[in-house]
Amino acid sequence: MNKKLLMPIVLLALLSLAVFVSAIRTEKSYPGTTVTAEFVEQNYHFYEGWNLVQGILNPEWVQSNSKNIKAIYAFNPITKEYVRFYPNPENNKIGGTNYQWKFLASIGALWVYSDKDFTSNYWKFADSPLTSTPLYSGWNFIGITSDMIDKTINGIKGSCNIERIYYWSQENQDWTDFMPHVEYQKIQQGQIGQGFVFKVSDNCKLGVSEGGVPSVPQLPDTTKTGCVDSDGGLTYIIKGKATDYSSNEILEDFCVNTIKLSEALCNNDGRGAYAQYDCPDGCYEGACIVPSCVLSAPFRCNQGNVKTNNIDIELQNVESESSNIKNVAISGCGSYSTVTFINTNELKTIKVPCNTALVQGTRFIGDITVTYRKMNGNLDLISSGRIVNQVK
């Protein structure tokens, strides 16, 4: 569709369901530095092309398919230049600045180039609070953190005078102006891990506003023409609508069946229309299902298949100590209670039987609880997460 007709009123939702776990103190490295700090896992869908992602300084922090990552660049807001972290790190720029890259990784967003679409967990520094987030005069790359959820940009701007703000459409590989929405549009939980670019007039700090009253809304514009697509175009994983002002018609995305999506859009002549798309993992309530399976350390869920009578999850032990899995429970399905030994880096597929048959073609969302005991331990420990997929 003609990009001039794109007038998104919401941020593009993150392409996977994020599951947040407690921070783990561990050691990670990036060019020229090894740090011991608090890290958390973030689930993220990487598009083929450029992605604006919070906090990745080393492709090794991406837990699966890291070979797809071909480049990582950070923006130094002091020197106003890009700095290559991968491949062939620009060590003179990384080490020859007063800017703290660890600080950038905890609150900032970096360019990550992938040669394929894929979904993976990655490690990032635990988020810094908004009140300790300084911005420098000019452009700044800021990651979306948990402190920003359910707040508008004006609600987190602190002492900053924001001149421009954009977010990166990874699907369209283009910038989208967000200035028209800073007063009303709230940041959603699914957007954690993505990034904005802010242009501010002076050095300042972000912070949560004290609940000031926004401006009175303007009267409706009855002279509008053309077409507006709420999800920004062919965005199959978000249920959106296309408003055709010429005909006063509103077209909404809907599922034709459990596979086929009818996507509302604005075509090149500025009129509303539909396009058909087969969702690879199923269609539900007007959007394609984005499958995900996430677990906290010491396990990784590499794959989760949801069937009518059982759920198969492929677990991997990512720690340096063997464990005995005592129980795997999935809410909305059931549990598996046979003790299962899992060695370091070993893969095990656990079949969890469902107490009640699941309905084929529907979307399943369930919380995972893995109860385990380390080989040299005497305490029961918990690894938790979530699975999302279509019932096959």
CATH number at residue 370: 2.60.40
pLDDT at 212: 52
Q: Count CA atoms closer than 13 A to 77's CA, side-chain side.
A: 26
Q: What angle do CA 202, 210, 131 make, to 5 degrees?
A: 50
What percentage of the chain carries pLDDT values higher than 70?
90
Other C-beta atoms lying within 10 Å of the C-beta of residue 146: 12
What integer best gives the mean pLDDT of the chain? 83
**Domain co-membership, 283 together with 297:** no
Same domain as 120, residue 231? no
Beta-carbon neighbour count of residue 211 at 10 Å?
A: 6
Tell me, yes or no, whether 30 and 144 share the same domain.
yes
pLDDT band at 1; cut points 50, 70, 90: very low
Instruction: Give me the residues paired with residue 384 across strands.
Output: 369
**Residue with the larger pLDDT of the pair 257 and 1:** 257
* Residue matched to tokens 């990552």: 69
Note the pLDDT of residue 98: 61
pLDDT at residue number 11: 37
Within this chain, do residues 248 and 368 fall inside the same structural domain, yes or no? no
* Predicted pLDDT at 9: 31
For residue 219, the Cα-to-chain-centroid distance in whole angstroms is 35
Same structural domain, 345 and 242 = no
Mean pLDDT value across residues 282-305: 85
- The reply to whether 384 and 242 lie within a common domain is no
C-alpha torsion angle, residues 234, 255, 47, 26 (rounded to 10): 140
Q: Does pLDDT of 12 surpass 50?
A: no
- Determine the Cα–Cα distance for residues 311 and 304; give it in Å rounded to an integer: 7
Hey, is 69 helix, strand or coil?
Answer: strand
pLDDT of residue 221: 66
Say whether both 302 and 284 belong to one domain: no
Give the pTM: 0.51
The 10s digit of each residue's pLDDT in 196-234 is 898 998 888 888 755 555 566 777 766 677 888 887 778
Residue 50 and residue 180 share a domain = yes
Least confident of 41-45, 59-63, 288-292: 288-292
Total number of domains constituting the chain: 3
In a domain, 243, yes or no: yes
Distance CA 27, CA 34 (A): 7
Kindly state whether residue 378 falls inside one of the protein's structural domains: yes
* Best CA proximity match to 141, nearest among 71, 45, 76: 76
Residues 201 and 236 in one domain: no
Note whether residue 346 is domain-resident: yes
Q: Residue 14's pLDDT band (boundaries 50, 70, 90)?
A: very low
Quick one: pLDDT at residue 376?
84
Q: Are 307 and 41 in contact (CB under 8 A)?
A: no
Question: 54 and 178, same structural domain?
Answer: yes
**Residue that terminates a domain, selected from 153, 173, 205:** 205
Helix (H) or strand (E) run with residue 212 in it: none
**Residue 217 lies inside a defined structural domain of this protein:** no
Q: Identify which of 172-176, 204-208, 252-256 has the greatest average pLDDT.
A: 252-256
Burial readout 91-107 (b: 16 or more C-beta within 10 A, e: otherwise): eebbeeeebebeebbbb
Which residue range(s) make up the domain with 260? Answer: 227-288
Structural contact between residues 110 and 141, judged by C-beta atoms closer than 8 angstroms: yes
